[in-house]
Structure 1
Amino acid sequence: MDGERAEELTDLVENSDLTGIRLWLAEHRPHEIADELARMPGREAIIPFRLLDKDRELEVFEELDPSQQQNILLGLRGTDFHDLLEEMEPDDRARLIGEAPAKIATRALAGLSPAERKMTAALLGYPEDSVGRYMTPETVILHRDLTVGRALEVVRARGADAETIYILPVVSDGRRMVGTITLSDLVVSDDDRILKDLVDVLAPRVRANEQVEDAARLIQEANLVSLPVVDSEDRFVGLFTFDDALEVIEAADSEDMARQSGASPVGDHYVSVGVLRLVGARSVWLMLLIVAATLTINVMQVYEATLEEVTALAMFVPMLIGTGGNVGAQSATAIVRALAVGEVRVRDLPGVIWKEGRVGLLLGFMLAGIALVIGSLLVGTDIAVVVACSVIAICTWAAVIGSSMPLLARKVGVDPAVVSSPMVATLVDATGLLIYFSIARMILGI
């Protein structure tokens, strides 16, 4: 169904059927339109975008990723360009301008009204991956000494200009953060109650310079609608909302998946990404991994005499290094995921190694039983015992390596996903062969 829809819009654009495009746009929701525009080249996407009604144009635009938004902006001229940016939410606009080329960024800032330019410049002053870059400054702020009745009047007067009013920050003098109160609590409370008696002083909050992914995970784990953001002096500066948090988590998970597969994250919609960009994203890691794989060749050369004496050992090399790589990849993936959601921390390294080491050992014993049977049937008991013992040792070692590398990477400031599955598998291949041939020498006396 989605493929038919995309093909239909593409055909309409290619045939310059403006009436058909308008009818198609009227029948679909903003997120559906945005998804189809993301699949199209920038020059083609601008045609249906410019045919959108003004009230839907902004909704569709804000559903697009910043790189796709840039393609749309390049096709707009004059007031259309500036009107679209003026109506955007400040946090969305700041991320767009922050990622845009200097030419577009300068033009965008110059065309904003003084108030919008001031808000955007303030957000751009925060680091790229900080909560400050993603928060919205358009909020309704309540003073703790207000009555409920007066607070509701403030919400009614200013709520239309705020991005969200479901969670309301409560401050003291100087905008110092006291806590939050929900709109529902305001509505059901007596008008003469004072906010300071109702405010949730234990409500989570984050500092504006903290990592945005950590804040997004907090929103997810605590089931929050929004999260207050404060500066270094605990003054309220904005709200980080759940819709932005979902986008951050999606982008972080996509990046981790790319790195775990041994590729650099692309970021854009897959359909719109060219072949050369995909090659560039994957080739660097593959070149590094193929160089690392030479360790395996070196190990084989060192034990060449052993292989010549007992050629049957070579039969089980693919099975052993494959099994070790799989066990290591499972451990690495589990720890990368646990790190991402905050289930483990760097200080948990000893406990993680102890747990994963035992997991690898038990898996090794299970797989060794299978290897012993297969080996006995194919090459005899002596070699089968070597293979079985090697499986136990390699599985234990692979689980330890796979679980410790992401934590050590986090310790030194490297993205844990970078050292996950492909890198772990490559390392386990080489070290697994060392274990295998060492055990063979000890048991077979060669």
Structure 2
Amino acid sequence: MNFQNQHPADIAEQLSELDNDERNLSFLMLSPEKKTQVFKFLEPAVQIKIIKALGNKELSIVLNNLPPDNRTKLFENFPDHLIKTSINLLNNEEREIALSLIGYKKDSIARLMTPHYIQTKADKTVTQVLTHIKKEGKKAETLNFVYVVDENNVLIDDLRIGQLLLAEPDTKISELMDRHVLAISATTHIEDAVDIFDKYDRSALPIITESGVLVGIVTFDDILDEVQDQTTEDIQKFGGTEGLEMSYTQSTLLDLVKKRAGWLVILFFGEMLTASAMGFFEGEIEKAVVLALFVPLIISSGGNSGSQAASLIIRAMALKELKLRDWWYVMKKEILSGLLLGLILGTIGFLRILLWQETGLYDYGEFWLEVALSVSVSLVFIVLWGTLSGSLIPFVLKWCKLDPATASAPFVATLVDVTGIIIFFSVAAFFLADKLL
């Protein structure tokens, strides 16, 4: 296939659809520059397969020319022996960069940074900086900003490239500086860095050490890739499964089962408590079989309201709209929401029994009114309880330093199922005492 004139992303997509031998051969036929461009768009699993098929010379060219942030992400998916082999194929400069990046914590913003950027000193002229850009600019990740450092490489300012282009050639960089610079600490968590990018609407931001030394930059496209990965993981967790390391199509059957089995077992044991609760009220069910008709309706309404609340709160937390200290504000709001939603469903439930009784569609017996009240009042309490549970659990998890996304919809639904049974039969016992019960 002739890939040379296509965009690297399109080439990567087409290569991924080929079988191993044809894909490896097609990749080898690409020019050295095109190899590097295409490689970073491939899925991790495909990257590893191609690397294993490459000779040391070809692999060395790809790895040495791959952007450091993409190379670090690639190494994260490598087995240990392959990391060692790959690092030994890097030249001295790139090897030092790779080892430095790998040393940072996995969730720190430094893992996404690249050391390829334009920096200068305050005593340089605009002409000198522009000459430097022409010489080194091809290696830079972005040319939007020029970063100004002092003798100790401490970041003191950043200048937009437009400022240099509009300035007189002999103007000193110090004359253009205002010494107001926005930077991110290398140890900052990636999620916090996303908020900084969003707040200040920047396409790139410098990364500094605790002492202010400039060590790299992070561009917004790298942040977007990470946001997509984290959002995917949160959605998977909220669905009651562990996050997948690779995409769904790249995951094996065994991986899918392993990631889902744990939660399903936990939820199964939870639902066993529902069966136990039903068994506890077996006597009441025998006396008033009509109550069993409404058990699915009751517990599903509570589970649905809890899942809704959990979805809203977890998303608000992800967007930083809610913090841990806002739990009481949320509780007050959800108490009113839960009551109103419960009253709506309770009213519908009451009218449904009334309509069926009056039209003869179903005979609920002489105590149909008490049955209707039991169902409607239970719906109010269970929907309220489901709403409060779904909104409170994410706060509890965050307080325990756990991921709020773990408050998955199945987990909340299972919790409300068990307690919903108890609420329903307790309310029914109140209205039907000395009648059916």
Q: Same fold (TM over 0.5)?
A: yes
**Counterpart selection for 2:397 from 390, 409, 418:** 409
Q: Tell me by how many angstroms 1:47 deviates.
A: 3.3
| Structure with the largest fraction of helix | 1
Deviation of 1:199 after TM superposition, in Å, equals 4.3
Residue number in structure 1 paired with 2:369: 381
Per-residue CA deviation, residues 165-188 of structure 1 (Å, 9 max, x unaligned), is 213333334222334222223323
Contact 2:56–2:89 at 8 Å: present in 1 too?
no
For the structure 1 residues 47 and 434, does the alpha-carbon distance in structure 2 shift closer, same or farther, using more than 3 Å as the test?
A: farther
Contact 2:148/2:158, CA 8 A, preserved across alignment: yes
Counterpart-to-counterpart distance in 2, 1:182 and 1:153: 16
2:111, 2:216 → 1: CA distance?
10
Aligned to 1:49: 27
**TM-score, structure 2 as length reference:** 0.90
Amino acid paired to 2:144: Y
The letter of the residue matching 2:348 is I
User: Which structure 2 residues correspond to residues 15-26 of structure 1 after superposition, within 5 A?
Assistant: 22-23=1-2, 25-26=3-4
Match of 1:97 in 2: 75
Structure 1 residue ranges without an equivalent (≥5): 1-21
User: 1:426 and 1:340 mapped to 2: Cα distance?
Assistant: 24
Which residue type is aligned with residue 289 of structure 1? L
RMSD: 2.2
SS, match of residue 350 in structure 1: helix
Cross-structure match for 1:118: 96
SS at match of 2:401: coil
Picking from 305, 310, 314, the partner of 2:288 is: 310
What's the counterpart of residue 419 of structure 1?
407
Shift of 1:252: 0.4
The answer on whether the counterparts of 1:131 and 1:209 sit within 8 Å (CA) in structure 2 is yes
1:366 to 344, 351, 371: 344
Tell me if structure 1 keeps the 8 A contact 2:45–2:250.
Answer: no
Q: Indicate if the aligned counterparts of 1:387 and 1:436 stay in contact, CA closer than 8 A.
A: yes
Question: 2:309 maps to which residue?
Answer: 331
**Take 2:143 and 2:16, find their aligned partners in 1: how far apart are those partners?**
31
1:360 to 1:147, Cα distance in 2 relative to 1, 3 A:
farther
**Structure 1 residue 156, shift from structure 2 partner:** 3.0
User: Is 2:244–2:259's contact at 8 Å kept on the other side of the alignment?
Assistant: yes
Shift of 1:337: 1.5
- Deviation, 1:197, is 5.7
Alignment-mate amino acid for residue 45 of structure 1? R
Q: 2: CA distance between counterparts of 1:168 and 1:307?
A: 76
Alignment equivalent of 2:333, drawn from 343, 355, 367: 355
Deviation at 1:40, TM superposition (A): 5.5
Task: Quote the residue 2:274 is aligned against.
Answer: 296
| Equivalent in the alignment of 1:443 | 431
CA 1:388–1:268 in structure 2 vs 1: closer, same or farther (change >3 Å)?
A: same
Q: Report SS of the residue matched to 2:333.
A: helix
Q: For residues 400 and 7 of structure 2, what CA distance do their matches in structure 1 show?
A: 45
Equivalent-residue separation in structure 1 for 2:53 and 2:170 (angstroms): 55
Cα distance in 2 between the residues matched to 1:433 and 1:39: 51
CA deviation string 1:18-54 (max 9, x = no partner) = xxxx13x357532233234445565553233223333
Structure 1 distance, partners of 2:308, 2:64, is 48
TM-score relative to the length of structure 1: 0.88
Q: Which residue of 2 aligns with 1:222?
A: 200
Q: AA paired with 1:398? A: G
Does the 8 Å contact 1:38/1:269 carry over to 2? no
What code does the residue aligned with 1:35 have? E
CA offset at residue 429 of structure 1?
1.0
Counterpart position of 1:209: 187
Q: Does the 8 Å CA contact 1:356/1:399 hold for their aligned counterparts?
A: yes
Gaps of 5+ in 2: 357-363
Q: In percent, how many aligned pairs have the same letter? A: 31
1:280 has 2:258 as partner: yes
